[in-house]
Amino acid sequence: MSEIAIRVAHPDSPLTEEAIGRLVDAFYAKVRNDPQLGPVFDAAIADWAPHLETMRRFWSSVMLTSGKYKGNPVAAHRRVSGIEMQMFARWLALFEETCAEMFDAAIAAEFGIKARRIAESLQLALFYRPDRPWPPQGH
């Protein structure tokens, strides 16, 4: 691969609000095109502009501790019809892939660590049952 191709694939964006905006746009473009995730998101989200804005604030709060996001992700995901445990692996794979395309390895890894922690806590909130093994068999 030529050096130019590598630079296009890994632009090494600094971690700014603007770069977070581009990450969010690129990630949700992939989500909407994904056969497993796309239909669930499109059924739940009538107007994408406010969702993308919320997600910019969310990642800005998580990665830059900006305090811009105020919300309740668990309550929001409880309302998502058709959400399933196994969708989280796909969500994380697409998210980490997009981070790796935009940021250097250290920043991409930091996004991945945060995303995995939040995904784990969402999965526990949505799917954990005290009378069943965790993680559920097959996951």
In the complex, the residues that contact ligand HEM under the rule CB under 6 A are 37, 40-41, 44-45, 51, 54, 58, 71, 73, 76-77, 79-80, 83, 87-88, 91, 115, 118-119, 122
d(CA 27, CA 71) in angstroms, rounded, equals 20
When the beta carbons of 4 and 35 are compared against ligand HEM, the nearer one is 35
> Least CB distance from residue 48 to ligand HEM, whole Å?
10
SS3 state at 112: helix
> Least CB distance from residue 42 to ligand HEM, whole Å?
9
When the beta carbons of 13 and 61 are compared against ligand HEM, the nearer one is 61
